[in-house]
Structures are given as structure tokens and as C-alpha cells.
Structure 1
Amino acid sequence: MSAPASLVLRDVHVPPAPAWWPPAPGWWLVLLAVAVLVAVPLLWRARRRRRRARWLRLFEAECSSALPPPEQVAAASQLLRRAARRVDPRADRLQGAAWLQFLDGPKGHAFSKDVGALLLDGGYRPRVDPRQMEALRALAATRFVQLMEGRR
């Protein structure tokens, strides 16, 4: 055997560090999962926003097609009754204060104590104040979208 001092030793060659690109297959899966987790809520939100906009356009088109304010009140009431059937199949048959309480929902009294009461007799009045009609239209459009979404 030879003496250790006589052996020719060389430094250990360390291989180069692996390249950062392309990543390992596991990182591709992580990237895909993150992309899906980000994209799905964004797409869902965009779809919901488009659906709301479509319902608002429908409401505005129906109310605008009726020219005199009493006819607009009747059109808004009819649309609200149609939308109410999505939440409760018997809701469209409610009358008077019960109908207004249903439209109020759990959060407010805008229909039963405010301009929303115009829905009860506004379609039968010879004249309706245009400011009241605009306020009712905005209130009814908001509630229409909520009912179409199935929110009580």
C-alpha cells in the first residue's frame, strides 16, 4: 500500500446547481392550482355582474316602454311580482300591506313606509309625481335584482 502523502488527490467536483427553469412537475401543478383558485372567483363575479346588468336592462326596458307614470308603476309592480315567484311561489298573490312587507324583506321598510307604497295605488292614480316615480323605480330595480338572485 502506498503512503497517504503519495496519493494524488483532487478536489471533489460539485455539479452545477439545477436551473430554475423549467420548474419541476410539482411546481407546475401548484401554479395551475393557484391559477384556478384565482380565475374561478373572478369568472364567477364577472358572470354575476353581467347577469345583474342584464336584469337591470330588462327592468329599465319594461318600465321605459310604459310611457305615462301610472303605467310605469304597473309595469314595475308586474316585474316585481314575477321576480317574487323565484323566492316564494305564493308571493305574487300577496295583496296590500302583506305585499309591501314581502318587498321590504328582512332589512328595511322602504316599501311599506316610504315611496314603495306607491305600488299599491300608483297604477290607478290619474297623476303620479315624477320624482316619486324615479325614486320608486330605483328602489324597485334594486329589489328586482335581489329577488331575481333569489334573495329574500
Structure 2
Amino acid sequence: MALQELPLRDIHQPPAPPWWPPAPGWWWLAAVVLVLLAFAAWWWLRARRRRAAIVRLFDERMRAAATPVERVAAMSELLRRAARRRDPAADRLQGDVWLVFLDNAKATGAPRNFSEGAGRVLLEGGFRREVDAADADALLPLARERYLELMAVRR
């Protein structure tokens, strides 16, 4: 029998594997990605709730203070509590050393709002009979910002 008379056919490739259902490895990868996404969402919500609770604590304490003296005393207390997060001995600092700590003197070029500005009222303001309401109002945004920094809350 001659070669030309043989009934040869061309090579046929088998059909490609279907894309669905995926192999078990892809299911495992999808499960890991979903778990990681769920964990990231939980972590983000937890940080957001924590920040809201910290801000709410500061704001409630300021609303509860009826007089400027009480507001200055509440700000001082909250700042001292928050300072312990950075340095366990920071709440025992006194005088200008305390104000320099609040200025965050480690940062070069940082404004000295506490030791040279409106924050000086923290030295004795909580112990006076009277504090000017304007001084307490000028201290409020400084104290709030520094409190949030000490509590390590990012905006």
C-alpha cells in the first residue's frame, strides 16, 4: 500500500479546560482574600470608632464644664491623662517643663503655643478663682489638637 493511499487525518487538540468551576487553589485564594478584606474593614471600623470615642470624650468634658476655670481644669486633666501614653512620667511634670512637653519640643520649628502662647493658662488656670473666658476659648483648640495627637488619633 502506497503512502498516498493511507487515510491520514490532521491532529486534533483536545478542548481547553473550562474556566468554571475554578480549581480548588483558586477557591482557597479567594477565601484568603475575603478574610483579609474583612479583617481590614474591621480594623478600619475599630479605629474610626475609637477616634470618635476619644473626640466625644474630650467634647463632652468641655460641655460639662460650666465655667472657664472648670474647662481649663478639664483640659489639663485630659492632657495629663493622654500624656501618659507617650511617657509614663509625663503626668507628673510641672511648670514650664510640662508646657514644653505639650509643645512637643522634639519637633524642630514647631510652634510653642503652650510655653509662649495661649497655653500658659494651663499652669495655674485650673486653680484660680477666675479665668478670662477668652483665655479658655483660645486654649480650647490647642488643647484639643494636642490631646488628639497624644492619643495618637489621625484625622
Shorter-chain TM range is: 0.7 to 0.9
The answer as to whether partners of 1:122 and 1:128 remain within 8 angstroms in 2 is no
Aligned amino acid, residue 13 of structure 1: H
TM-fit CA distance, 1:67: 0.8
Any idea what the Cα deviations from partners look like across 1:56-99, whole Å, max 9, x if unmatched?
Answer: 10111112111111110001101111121222221111111000
* Residue of structure 2 equivalent to 1:129: 133
Query: 1:13, CA displacement in angstroms?
Result: 2.5
RMSD between aligned alpha carbons? Answer: 2.4
Shift of residue 11 of structure 1?
2.8
1:34 to partner: Cα distance: 4.5
Write out aligned runs for 1:25-64 (5 A): 25-35=24-34, 40-64=39-63
The aligned amino acid for 2:120 is A
Residue range with higher mean Cα deviation, 105-114 or 79-88: 105-114
Runs of 4 or more consecutive aligned structure 1 residues displaced over 4 Å after TM superposition: 32-42
Instruction: Name which of structure 1's ranges 7-16 and 61-70 shifts more when overlaid on structure 2.
Output: 7-16
Alpha-carbon distance between aligned partners in 1 of 2:4 and 2:58, rounded to the nearest angstrom: 96
**Bigger share in helix:** 1
Q: Which residue of 1 aligns with 2:70?
A: 71
CA distance 1:45–1:68, shift in 2 (3 Å):
same
Is residue 119 of structure 2 the alignment partner of residue 116 of structure 1?
yes
TM-score calculated relative to the size of structure 2: 0.79
Deviates more, 1:51-60 or 1:18-27: 18-27
Distance 1:117 1:30 in 2: 58
Structure 1 match to 2:83: 84
- Inter-CA distance 96–41: structure 2 relative to 1 (3 Å threshold): same
Q: Does the aligned pair in 1 maintain the 2:68–2:130 contact within 8 Å?
A: no
State the distance in 1 between where 2:76 and 2:122 align.
6
Q: Is 1:24 the equivalent of 2:23?
A: yes
State the percentage of identical aligned residues. 51
Which moves more between the two structures, 26-35 or 96-105? 26-35
Which stretch shows the higher mean deviation, 13-22 or 30-39? 30-39
Instruction: Please tell me the residue identity of whatever aligns with 1:138.
Output: P
